[in-house]
Structure formats: C-alpha cells, structure tokens
Structure 1
C-alpha cells in the first residue's frame, strides 16, 4: 500500500486529507503536536477503513522534532510515497503588534519545517517517484503580513520544484484554498460567523482536499480548488498591493 505522511493531521484540512486517503486505502503517518487528538483521529481511521496508521507526536517549531519527522521520511526500508505539509497556524494581530517570538515560531512552522521535510522527502523519493503537497493559501497571491509571505514562499518553491524534480518522477503541488470551514479561525480566537466573510466565499474542507489530490495526481504545480477563488486570484494580480492588502485585512484565509 502507498504511505502518506501528513503534518497538522489532528484537525482541519490535515485530518480531512487523512480521512480521504484512508478512504482510498492508503496507509498513514499522522504528525501533530497534540497526542490525544492525534490518537483519536488514528483510532477512528483504523476502525473505519482498516488501514495502518502510525502516530508521530511532534511540534514543528522545535528543531529536534522536525528532525525526527525528517528521519521518518528518509527511512528507505518503509518508504513514504506522499508528503503533505499541512501544519500551520495564524496570528491574531498585524506584524508589529504580534509578539516577535510568535512570529518566528510561525515562520519556522510554515517555511523552515516545510523546507526541511521536503528536503528529506526528496532525498528518498528521487528516482523511485513520489508526491509532495504543500498546503498554501490564496493569501499567498496577495499582500498581507507574514502569513501571506509564508504562503507565497510555498507557492513559489512548489512551482520551481515541480519542474526541477519532474525528471526524478516527483511532483510538488501547492494547494491554495480560500476560506475553508475548519477549526483554523477558532484557534486564532475568531468566533464562527464573526470573521466578516460572506458565506459565498467559504469552501468545504472535503471539496478542497479532493481537488488538491486530483491536481497533485495530474502533476500540477499550483491547485486553487474553486472557480471563484481562481477568479479572485486573477483579479488580484491586476490590482495594486495597496488595494489587495486593504481588502485582506478584513479576514484571514
């Protein structure tokens, strides 16, 4: 059976990726920093789908924990076929108002950990083949603080790596959803229904995951799993940063 390693797998899009892949009979390695929630997801998937689920508790803002996950990705005796870099979090304030240590931790999880895990995965996948999915955001196409900058890095790197490693039979895809119904906003302290975002702009997590997996299977470098968000991204590319950043401050994608 193919094996997928998913970070941030205890909730949100990570848990939805795990569920969809288990439905397709993939074995799983689930990574998150909360042991109890991770074990609950693993037990549910083992029971419902009969797949093998390995649990790896790790805080991806901690270098030693990232190294443990990287070592698992590099284990040639039990190879990983799909890496999904999904772990991440948002910060409640603008850059100058957030604690700088929180901003550094945010950067480590979104960029440094993803980069280290991609490096480890590529070392194992090159030649035999594999896929990497980086969960980015449409925020990566607009100007908005460090969250936008982190997601922009993931998109840009995925575009390059997808071309660079195609000859090694490895695809790299940045999945870029818009506002999606998960626990992401609640963990930032925003109550459901109070994000100031029209209902039309909200996406279903299962739809995002299925579209992302389909686009990754087709070897696409960037996946925007919604026609309306594809239109928004196209429009944003034509507008000055002063306009898009002002709109972006209304909510967090």
Structure 2
C-alpha cells in the first residue's frame, strides 16, 4: 500500500488531498500544528476509508517541527504534498518582519527541506511524486506571499528538470481562489471576489492528481485560471500587480 504525507492536512486543500488519497487506498501521514484537530481528522479518515492514518503534530515554522517531519520522510513515502501555508492581514509595510520571516520559513525553507528529505528514497525506488502547493499569485506581484509562491514554482520546475529521465515527479500546484479557511485566518476581505472565480478544494485536488500523473511540472486548475495566468504573462507587470492588489484584499 503506498504512503502519502500531507502537510497542512486538517483543512482546505490539505484535507481534500487526504480524502482523495484515502479513497485511492493510500496510507496517510498527516502533518499539522493542532494535535487535537489532527487526531480527529485522522480518526475520521480511518473510519470512512479504512486506511492507516498516522499523525505527526509539527509546526513547520520551527526547527524542531521541520526536523521531525524530515525524519519521517527519510523512512520513505510515495507521495509528498507540501501544502502548509498562510497569508498575512495587511500590506507588506504593515507586517512585522518576524511574521514575514515565518512565512518564508514555511513556504520556502520547509518546501526545500521536506522535498530534499523525500527525494532520495523516491529516486532509489525510481517512483514517487512531490506536489508543492503554490498559487496563481505566483504569477503576479503581490507582496511576500506571491514572491514566496513564485519561488515554489521555480524550485519545483528546476527540481523536476533535474529528474529528467526518472519516474519521480515534482509539480507545483497553482490554484486560484479556493473556498477554505485560508482567507478567514488571514483576515482578508474577499467580498469583492466574483463568485465565478471560486473553486472547490476537491476540484483542485482532482485536477492536481490528473496533472501529476501526466507528468506536468506546473498545474493551474480550471480553464478560467489558465486564461488569467496566460493574460497576466502578457500584460505589463505593473498593471498585473495593480489588478492583483485590487482583487486580493481591500
């Protein structure tokens, strides 16, 4: 039975990955900060799908948390979903630098270290995959969040290129607006986002699993967002940044 590790596994896209992979027969290693919520999520998956669901409480913004998760990955997994992440309420100049550094540790350092912990075993077996959850924001200029997600996309593409000729795959997943707890936790006002731009987490995961099976290095779920990203690459960067600022939060 294959094993998948999912970080940020208790809500939103992470929880949707857990449901999908459990339904596909994966044993799960669930990583999140909230031990109580993590245990409840694991128990629900065991009861519903009859799979093994291991819990690993860890804060990926800490050295202790990162080291613990790296150690579990070196025991071997078949799929790693680097999903943990968060946003900030407010503009770049209003956010304490300690909070910005915490974001970079979770979005960049954790993705780097956990990917590198998982890949040696996958390369030895010549199978496996890493899905790094980025964002459509990676293609637009919008503060540290979009900058960190742009790093995730570049890192994923670069690592995938290094694995050319192998059956191991690395992919960046770049969803748009998804109905999860993310925006509430970041205290973002998303009342101005048109309804047609919202995606379900289950749809995002469904398209991600299809794209990683096809060997794609970047997945942008939904035709609407493929068009938005395509247009964003054509318009001047300062205009794209202004559009992103107006849409992202008030």
Q: For 1:75-114, list aligned pairs within 5 A.
A: 75=75, 79-114=76-111
Matches within 5 A, 1:146-165: 146-165=144-163
**CA displacement 1:116-169 (0-9 Å, x = unmatched):** 000101122113121000001110011111111111011111111112113332
Deviation at 1:170, TM superposition (A): 1.1
Deviations 1:213-244 (A, max 9, x none): 11011111000111010000000001112111
| Displacement of 1:103 | 0.4
Aligned equivalent of 1:35: 35
State the number of aligned residues: 248
Partner residue, 1:228: 224
Residue 7 of structure 2 aligns with which residue? 7
Q: In the TM superposition, what is the alpha-carbon distance from 1:113 to its structure 2 partner?
A: 0.5
Task: Give 1:190 deviation, angstroms.
Answer: 3.3
Deviation of 1:245 after TM superposition, in Å, equals 1.1
Aligned-partner Cα distance in 2 for 1:37–1:252? 29
In structure 1, distance between residues paired with 2:41 and 2:248: 26
Distance 1:122 1:180 in 2: 29
Gaps of 5+ in 1: none
Paired residue secondary structure (1:168): coil
Partner Cα separation in structure 1 for residue 181 and residue 101 of structure 2: 22
1:211 and 2:170 matched: no
The residue number in structure 2 matching 1:167 is: 165
RMSD: 1.2
- State the 1:250 CA deviation: 2.5
Alpha-carbon distance in structure 1 between the residues aligned to 2:128 and 2:31: 19
User: For the Cα contact (< 8 Å) 1:127–1:168, is it kept in 2?
Assistant: no
Q: Under a length normalisation based on structure 2, what TM-score does the superposition of the two structures give?
A: 0.96
Distance in 1, matches of 2:44 and 2:25, equals: 14
Deviation (angstroms), 1:15: 0.6
